[in-house]
Amino acid sequence: MSQSITLKHPTGILEGKIKLPASKSEANRALIIAALSGKESELHNLSEANDTQLLQRLLKSDAETIDAEDAGTVMRFLTAYYAVTGQQKVLTGTARMCQRPIKVLVEALQELGANIEYLGEEGYPPLRMKGFSGNGKNRLKVRSDISSQYISALLMVAPLLPEGLTLELEGKIGSRPYIEMTLSLMEHFGVSANFEGNTITVAHQQYKAASFHVESDWSASSYWYSLVALAKEADITLLGLREKSFQGDSAIVNIMYRLGVHTSFTEEGVKLTKKEHEKYLALDFADCPDLAQTIVALCAGLGITVEMTGLESLRIKETDRIQALQIEVLGMNSSLQEISPGVFRLEPGILTKEELSFRTYQDHRMAMAFAPLALLAPVEIQEPSVVRKSYPRYWEDLEKVGFEIKENE
């Protein structure tokens, strides 16, 4: 794919049925649990997302050096997996992955008896995994305000530990629904846990073989909600989404109700139609950080002021997402500012440009969140292939509902 594409929509009217990619979060948990169980589990509808394809390949690889690329779940889940299964590996990733912290997880695994060495800067990948003595502690305090992926990684390996594991979560619990998703998947594969207050206990147990069907990705649905909110008229069905979901990003239903999208659940998934939107919103993203970019881009487009909290983890994701958003909304005459510690305010401006252009910072969600603005004016997206991380068919799906996409020289 070329360095940039330009999107236009000739009518602004959207109609169609879209099969979303499957959730990479559910799929990557199911893959790790199936590998830990040592049993033949049937996993259906594994995501075509690169993060999932990559984990599938790496779990089968005999190579000593394992490249987790830019996939946070792959890096964190494999660190715990290789540690507890005593495999000698070097775990690395993209330059950005080597700036994403992993100290909390490494220190926890070391306390459990893992021998892990930093090959670069302390606290960051690459890591050398040197074996597991298995005579460590069975109760740990772990910070839960940096990334929930550390907690999920520890929980999935916990039943293999001779005395199980009790985790005491310290600090604010960020991305909590992802921890709950991990526990639900573990339960699906026969392992019970107890989560009360800030303490999670998992006894020594065996995973059981089970079949599992991965649900469509609610995070990916958010771009379609945004498209409906910006369209002149819309009738869009997203296939394979369920009202009762393991995914916390299903919170998009209630957020988008306020931003002009009505959801009805059908046999096949969800049907999205337009309604009135509110003019001002205050939203907390602590439980659903991956939705923040969608909402910022949409509110800048619709002229809605939004005050946001719970954005702390955005600074250590595929890029510093707060900084990337602050730069990119300027091109729409909007501003995103921290008005008091931890509180960000998006103040939308009037669109004056005939064509909008957005950089994507090697972050799939920057590309997917800003593309729907092509319903207001032609939009150039730089480095469009970034979408492969979670939604490789995004551009094709937009073409199915009438977007014209031109590859630029």
Ligand X SMILES: C=C(OP(=O)(O)O)C(=O)O
- Does the annotation mark 363 as catalytic? no
Give whichever of 71 and 398 is closer to ligand X, judged by the CB atom.
71
User: Would you say 365 is a known binding-site residue?
Assistant: yes
Residue 321 annotated as binding? Answer: yes
**Interface mask (CB under 6 A) for ligand S3P, residues 173-192, using x and -?**
-xx--x--------------
Question: What residues have CB less than 8 Å from 189, skipping those under 6 apart?
Answer: 30, 33, 34, 37, 41, 207, 208, 209, 210, 212
Q: Which is nearer to ligand S3P, 219 or 226 (CB)?
A: 219
Closest separation in Å from C-beta 71 to ligand X: 5
The count of chain residues that interact with ligand X, using the rule CB under 6 A, is: 8
Q: By C-beta, is 159 or 174 nearer to ligand S3P?
A: 174
Q: Using CB under 6 A, which of 50, 148, 222, 245 touches ligand S3P?
A: 148
> Does the protein bind ligand X through residue 365 (CB under 6 A)?
yes
Identify which of residues 277 and 365 has a Cβ nearer to ligand S3P in the complex. Answer: 365
Please state whether beta strands 404-407 and 4-8 pair in parallel, antiparallel, or not at all (unpaired).
antiparallel
Could you say which residues in the range 301-340 bind ligand S3P, by CB under 6 A? 313
**Minimum gap (Å) between residue 153 Cβ and ligand S3P:** 9
Q: How far is the CB of 283 from ligand X (least distance, A)?
A: 17
Per the DSSP assignment, residues forming a β-bridge with 16 are 236
Q: Which residue is nearest to ligand X (CB)?
A: 72
72 binds ligand X, rule: CB under 6 A:
yes
Active site amino acids: 290
For binding to ligand S3P (CB under 6 A), which residues are involved? Answer: 25, 72-73, 147-149, 152, 174-175, 178, 289-290, 313
For binding to ligand X (CB under 6 A), which residues are involved? Answer: 71-73, 290, 317-318, 365, 390
Annotated binding site for 3-phosphoshikimate: 24-25, 29, 147-149, 175, 290, 317
